[in-house]
Amino acid sequence: MPSVELVGVTKRFGRKTALDNVSLRVEDGEYAVVLGPTGAGKTTLLRIVAGVLKPDAGEVRIGEAVVNDIPPDERGVALFFQNFALFPHMTVLDNVAYGPRMRGLPEQDCIRIAREMLDLVHLLERANSMPHELSGGMQQRVALARALATGANLLLLDEPLSQLDARIGEELRYELRRFVKDLGLTAIHVTNDVDEAMAVADKIVVLKRGSVIQVGSPEEVYLKPKTPFVASFVGEATVFEAIVRAVDSERVRVEAMGVEIMAYAQGFSGGDLVVAAIRPESIRLLREAEPALANRLEVTVERISFIGGMLRVECGVVGTDLKLLSLVPDEENVELAEGEKLFASFSPEEVSIYPYPSEGLFRELSLE
């Protein structure tokens, strides 16, 4: 079973640096997701692991062996791309049995493995169908069964669910993780979809403009984003510029657009320009009478959207231009209305404070 390690990998295409000194380790049996916007270098990274591309500098290790000079078909990897075509003239079973046959296994083993993999993706009863008789979602599952049947221990997935209807993709992402775990594989999965990444990953690698920004469990990346970019890219957040007005041993008071906010943060001094970020579910919306946390701001509800059983509420802080984003449960007995005045309340622990990015906040948050 393989671990995968990249050490100082750099790749340029002409003048563009696709990957800039990337180091990364994926443990044996781990499900890693490389997450980033288009152009971050995700696919380049995956192709370098597969051996389809050669790095300009750095090492790729699979297991403990350096594989820089090993051709793709000897690396023990299975590749699965978004527009992976099935062989149109072969039955579903023959498509899946293709890999084992190429490896020269006895015919009954090829059939047994193919049937097992089809069973895993719940398509055994369609073994004798032709690909064109199946829906897009089913074809995708056949393609996955074919990749799994190669017997490779390392599965590389490039946007595996992006061509599917959203609801099918949501169902399939949990199945995909289950297949990988049931077979004890190591997986590296590339996507620009944060929700997909959070649902399947043991470890998320956030990539931006060819550099690794943060590596951690979904929980760490979401709850302790290392930079303003991670805060705004991995889920929604209110992100704004602020100035430090006062500090004590563990807390700071910052001001943004005339609004004062308390936060737990260290290493800042009065007058520092900083960036603050708050996750929407950290901001509670209260009526006047309810007890509030340390930060309590009067707000006007501007827009309520319904997302997955929750209410996403855009608020404006009364008397200022500061906007806050809140996520609250959609309770049966609570009605919120646009235009209503409420109190937004959040704890100082839930405010992340970052040094102001050297390239400016706009460029820091840019998804390109």
Partner 1 sequence: MPRVEVIGVRKRFGDVEALRGVDLSIEDGEYVCIIGPSGCGKTTLLRIIAGLIPPDEGHVYIDGKLVNGVPPEDRGLGFAFQNIALFPHMSVLDNVAYGLRVRGKDASFSKKVAREMLRISPIEISPKALPRELSGGAAQAVAIARALATGAKLLLLDEPLGALDARVRVSMRYELRRIVKDLGLTAIHVTHNQAEAMSIADKVVVMRSGRVMQVGAPRELFWQPQNLFVAYFVGEITLLEGYIVERSEDRCLIELREGLQLVSTCPERARGDHVVAAIRPERVKLYASEVGGENVLRGKVLSARVLTGVLRYEVLLENGETLLVKEILTHAKRRVLPETSVWVQIPPQSILLFDYPSIGLMREISLE
Q: How many whole angstroms separate alpha carbon 107 and alpha carbon 114? A: 11
**CB burial of residue 267 (10 Å; 0-12, 13-18, 19+):** exposed
Q: How many whole angstroms separate alpha carbon 279 and alpha carbon 288? A: 22
Report the DSSP beta bridge partners of residue 284. 345
Q: Which residue has the tokens 């061509």?
A: 163
- The identity of residue 221, as a single letter, is V
113/263 with CB nearer partner 1: 263
Q: How many whole angstroms separate alpha carbon 120 and alpha carbon 86? A: 18
Residue 176 has which token pair? Answer: 């995909």
- Strand order of the β-sheet with 351-355 is 259-264, 251-256, 238-247, 273-278, 351-355
Q: How many whole angstroms separate alpha carbon 34 and alpha carbon 32? A: 7
User: In angstroms, what is the minimal distance from the CB of 39 to partner 1?
Assistant: 8
Residues near partner 1 (CB under 8 A) are 37-38, 135-138, 165-168, 170-171, 191-196, 198-199, 217-219, 222-223, 233-236, 279-282, 303, 305-310, 312, 314, 327-330, 332, 347, 349-350, 366-368
Parallel/antiparallel/unpaired status of strands 31-35 and 203-208: parallel
Phi-psi region of 66 (alpha: psi -120 to 50; beta: other; left: phi over 0): beta
Closest CA to 269 of 353, 157, 364: 353
Q: How many whole angstroms separate alpha carbon 150 and alpha carbon 111? A: 12
Helix, coil or strand: residue 35? strand
Q: Which residue has the tokens 């970020």?
A: 277
Residue 148 has which token pair? Answer: 């799994």
C-alpha R_g of the chain: 24
Cα-flanking dihedrals φ and ψ of residue 136, to 5°?
-60, -40
User: In angstroms, what is the minimal distance from the CB of 311 to partner 1?
Assistant: 9
User: In angstroms, what is the minimal distance from the CB of 60 to partner 1?
Assistant: 27
Cα-flanking dihedrals φ and ψ of residue 191, to 5°?
-160, 160
User: In angstroms, what is the minimal distance from the CB of 199 to partner 1?
Assistant: 6
User: In angstroms, what is the minimal distance from the CB of 198 to partner 1?
Assistant: 5
Q: How many whole angstroms separate alpha carbon 217 and alpha carbon 197? A: 10
140/150 with CB nearer partner 1: 140
